[in-house]
Structure 1
Amino acid sequence: MSTRRKRSQRHFVKAKAAFGRIDVVFNNAGWSMMGDTEGVPEDVARKLFETNFWGASNVSREAVRFFREENKPSGGLLLNNSSLMGITAIPGMGYYSATKQALEGITQALALELDPSWNIKVSIVEPGAFATEGPKKLGTGYAHPAYTAPTLPSVAMRAYLQTGASIGADPVKAVQRIYDFSLLDNPPFRFPLGKDAVGAIKAELQRIERDVAKYESWSEGLEFDV
């Protein structure tokens, strides 16, 4: 068992000792960074995956085990905190986007694997930008020397962050919405949060639908000849 997995278990033990059971786990293991995909060193990208994917996965696994084996009666809600980038990638944050898309994949598989009799619910929160300290700390990140044209999306994003502008909506209100969501009897699997998240995800779904429709016929006639 990994050190991270053991650390996750210790926190659940402490929570049980304090409260007797755990009904909701908000899984927010993660950090972020800027960087052109060609510019981010491999060791830095791997560290990002170590926390955002493996760290969050370990918490997810322990949450499900706890809900099933420790809670009496069994049950609980796992809320994995993703991002709008879990659905649509953002230039200049490719590896961060990849970690969130990997988290969405493992979370969806986990949700489909659960026995309904365990009464465990799994949802993904997909926030947009909120005015926390996070965006201000991203800085210039790892810029590749080939990506200098000011019209490039990643360059524009870096320039915007360097202005120190307050980015996004009110995080206090977002927390209240997440809390309200946790009280739903039957929460949906995905919960986009913020107008920018809703807009970006809708646009990505439209792009996917167009691509599928345009080349749907190419999947005809691929069966083995009899």
Structure 2
Amino acid sequence: MASSASFDEQTVWFVTGCSSGLGKAFAQIVYNAGHRIVATARDITSLAYLPDCSTVLKIKLDVTSQQDIETAFAEALAKFNEIHVVINNAGYGLMGDMEAIAESDARLQLETNFWGPVHVTQQALKVFREINPKGRGGTVVQVSSVGGFLTAPGHSFYHASKFALEGFTKSVAKEVHPEWNINFLILSPGGVHTNFAESSLLSPPRHAAYDLPEGAFSQLAACIHSQPTWSDPNSCARVLFDCVVRQNERSLPTRLLMGSETVPYVKDEIKHMLEEVEDWKIETSKCSEP
């Protein structure tokens, strides 16, 4: 069902992880459209690309801190009174052989990529339901990845964080009452020309048992850096912005794929899943027999 809310210069966008990459592109397009933007980052000086003006609020926010999240929402409401769109963009990649990754690093990956968006979403729902005018609601965009639907070697905990975020989001979307007018969108980019594959990627030393040239992760790691087919972050931001502001005309999809390579990858994964279901349906049916 399409949203009944309007999106114009009075719309307030709350975006996490705006220091660079997609987050920066999101913040810039919102500002350039004349809407109001709450741009957040762990280092507030990284937001200097945005001017100091009445439509911009810059906030220091580490999404692994519950106190930071609560303070950021309080500051946003103190300035703009309402919040209408929340984009959970903050996150990073953790790449490496599963057995070589320290548990502390794995847990921090989940704290940032999963629990951070969970806590931000909890605050957003309160605002949409209790602060915004009745029925105005709001939109939550979870920046996931095509890696929230399919997997690659060497990214076990990254995939775990994105699969968890998507399952959480799809369940919560079924919990909210329709009259609250709260909508969810899972954004699933493929490769994007940002620093994600470099400064935003944590990669510990290889595990000796896996560090072989013929290994699946070894082959992937050799070509993990930016590729010609990867998407432009500004183009991605424009597609997302248009999708959100036009949801009165066309309902938001559950998942919005971004990048030319994502559609064939996802189609191939679905095809394989369906073939496997078909191959094993006889054995599956036996589980229902007495």
Same fold at TM > 0.5: yes
How many residues align? The count is 222
Q: Distance in 1 between matches of 2:281 and 2:227?
A: 43
Q: Distance in 2 between matches of 1:5 and 1:42?
A: 21
Q: 184, 189, 194: which one pairs with 2:254?
A: 189
Counterpart check, 1:97 vs 2:162? no
TM-score by length of 2: 0.72
Code of the aligned partner of 1:71: N
Equivalence for 1:67: 128
Which residue in the other structure is 1:20 paired with? 81
AA aligned to 1:27 is N
Checking the alignment, whether the CA contact within 8 Å between 1:139 and 1:158 is kept in structure 2 is: no
% same residue? 33
1:148-163 mapped onto 2 (5 Å cutoff): 148-161=211-224
Residue 46, structure 1, aligned to residue 114, structure 2: no
Structure 2 residues not aligned, in runs of 5+: 1-63
- For residues 139 and 77 of structure 1, do their structure 2 counterparts lie closer, same or farther at Cα, with a shift above 3 Å needed? closer
2:72 paired residue number: 11
Question: In the alignment, which of 168, 172, 195 is matched to residue 234 of structure 2?
Answer: 172
Kindly state the Cα deviation for residue 139 of structure 1 after the two structures are TM-superposed. Answer: 6.7
SS in structure 1 opposite 2:220? helix
**Displacement after TM superposition at 1:153 (Å):** 2.4
Measure the CA separation in 1 of the matches of 2:288 and 2:202: 51
Supply the distance in 2 between the matched residues of 1:87 and 1:60 (Cα, whole angstroms). Answer: 21
Instruction: Name the counterpart of 2:210.
Output: 147
For 2:152 and 2:274, the matched residues in 1 are separated by 19
* Greater Cα shift, 133-142 or 14-23: 133-142
**Residues 159/141 of structure 1: CA separation in 2 closer, same or farther (3 Å cut):** farther
| 1:214 aligned onto 2:279 | yes
Distance 2:98 2:128 in 1: 38
Kindly state the Cα deviation for residue 61 of structure 1 after the two structures are TM-superposed: 1.2
Give the CA deviation at 1:63: 0.9
The Cα of 1:32 is off from its aligned counterpart by 1.0
> Structure 1 stretch 201-210 or stretch 79-88: which is displaced more?
201-210
AA of the residue aligned to 1:62: Q
Query: 1:207 offset after TM fit, Å?
Result: 1.3
Specify every segment of 5 or more residues in structure 1 that has no aligned partner in the other structure, as ranges: none
1:55 counterpart (98, 116, 123):
116
Deviates more, 1:77-86 or 1:25-34: 25-34
TM-score calculated relative to the size of structure 1: 0.91
**CA–CA separation in structure 2 for the residues paired with 1:122 and 1:84:** 17
Q: Trace 1:54-133 onto structure 2 (pairs within 5 A).
A: 54-74=115-135, 75-133=137-195
Residue 205 of structure 1 corresponds to 270
By how many angstroms is 1:127 displaced?
0.6
For residue 205 of structure 1, what is the amino acid of its counterpart?
I
Check conservation: 2:88, 2:141, Cα contact below 8 A. Answer: yes
Deviation at 1:18, TM superposition (A): 2.1
C-alpha change, 1:55 and 1:136, in structure 2 (3 Å) is same
- What SS class does the counterpart of residue 90 from structure 1 fall into? coil
1:4/1:58 contact within 8 Å kept = no
1:216, 1:157 → 2: CA distance? 33
Residue range with higher mean Cα deviation, 104-113 or 24-33: 24-33
